[in-house]
Amino acid sequence: MQKFDEFRSAVELPSDYLDEDTKLSVKFKNKNRFMALPGSEKTIRGISAVTLLLEDEASRVLDVLYKSVRPMLAVSHGRHILMSTPFGKRGHFWEIWDKRRRGVASNGKWQWFLVSADDCPRITKEFLEDEKEEHGEQWYLQEYFNAFVDEETQIFTRSSIMQAMDNDIAVIEI
């Protein structure tokens, strides 16, 4: 709700545009509602006919929560927007993005937009150089250039693991 409140304060709105304003939701005169929902699969259930679902920091949202919110869109056929920087090659955010990378059809279900530090004129090259030096290349690429990187502590890369599961590899008999 904090970001929503910041947005509201930046936009000129009539003084009577709200019917209700609470800590976690606002209801507009036109009966539309904006809600900040809890990040728990157990407490989020029961909401339906959602027309727009924004999943902020989607790479860090547990898959069980992602799967719990999907039914909210069943009746309304609402939009589900995932916004995030990567957080490794895991979870629903990675899987959806990876399908695009591999050219797997999404039947128009998803659109992808990539915005990196190069696209933001407010971020200086000096700042980026300092970040890369301080945090290392993997973290830097993930946070500023949307790279899905393997964990630094991984023994095997995700690519190696996936290749090992390839059913087309010929079995070598000894």
Range of the domain at 130: 121-174
pLDDT digits over 100-125, tens only?
Answer: 888 886 777 888 899 999 999 999 99
User: Residue 95: what pLDDT?
Assistant: 92
Task: Please tell me whether residues 139 and 167 are part of one structural domain.
Answer: yes
> pLDDT confidence of 148, banded at 50, 70, 90?
very high
Among 80, 95, 120, the domain-final residue is 120
Task: Please tell me whether residues 78 and 104 are part of one structural domain.
Answer: yes
Task: Please tell me whether residues 49 and 95 are part of one structural domain.
Answer: yes
Which amino acid makes up residue 53?
Answer: L
Cβ–Cβ < 8 Å for 109, 96: no
> pLDDT confidence of 63, banded at 50, 70, 90?
very high
Structure tokens of 75?
Answer: 């009746």
Task: Please tell me whether residues 31 and 68 are part of one structural domain.
Answer: yes
User: Residue 139: what pLDDT?
Assistant: 93
Distance CA 157, CA 3 (A): 36
Cβ–Cβ < 8 Å for 81, 53: yes
Alpha helices in 54-165 (DSSP H): 63-69, 91-102, 125-135, 137-145, 158-164
Task: Please tell me whether residues 89 and 166 are part of one structural domain.
Answer: no
pLDDT at 1 over 70: no
Task: Please tell me whether residues 46 and 128 are part of one structural domain.
Answer: no
